[in-house]
Copies of this chain bind each other. A is one copy, B any other.
Amino acid sequence: MPRSIRVEQMLDAAVGVFSAAGYHAASMDDIAERAGISKPMVYAYLGTKEELFIACVHREGTRLMEAIVAATALQVPPDEQLWRGLRAFFTFVGDHRDGWAVLYRQARGQERFAAELAEMRARMVEVVAGLLARVIAAGGRRPRPAELTPMAYALVGAGESLADWVVDHPSEPPETTATRLMNFVWLGAGELLRGATWRPPVTPE
């Protein structure tokens, strides 16, 4: 059995166990058993538990990123691009629930993986911010990075949260969820790029 396949199997198992039990509670024994392989092999192929986890984060993160990038490569109007990105996101999360859990629940909980996460997050935000920037540029305004980043954060968070909600509504197709989020967010963005601004209220406390 070729080495690369073995590695994929092990990563599959690891992602499954990590996402179900959490980084700490996951045991290398469990992972090895689930991969149908002996523990020393896991160490031989993928190193330490920490390294193994990082490998998981990398693989899942890359997959997600590729899915989104592929989905937004088409030359279509900016809003449609954004929608396609969201749809790809919800599709991925629906299909790789475990991978998503590893990325966004486990990794965030462990200070240790801050570097890894920062990198993934940077790539993610870059993609999302890129989408938003194109939107804003299309509206004739100049995108300001200092605003783009928190916006991207908010969008990703909203998506993540909706992904959770979808868990209890498994019959909802990704298209619908993406449209929900677009409806909630896009119209606001549209306003924004028409120059509207919401201002904090002045009611005395």
Contacts and interface: CB of A to CB of B under 8 A. Distances in A.
Interface residues of A, number: 60
Interface stretch (A4-12, A61-69, A135-143, A195-203): A195-203
Contacts of A111: 20-22
Contacts of A25: 24, 110
Interface in A148-198: 149-151, 153-162, 164-165, 175, 177-192, 196-198
What copy number does this chain have within its complex?
4
Given A24-B22, A155-B158, A165-B153, A203 B76 contact: yes
Interface of A: 20-25, 74, 76-77, 79-80, 83-84, 105-106, 108-111, 121, 147, 149-151, 153-162, 164-165, 175, 177-192, 196-201, 203
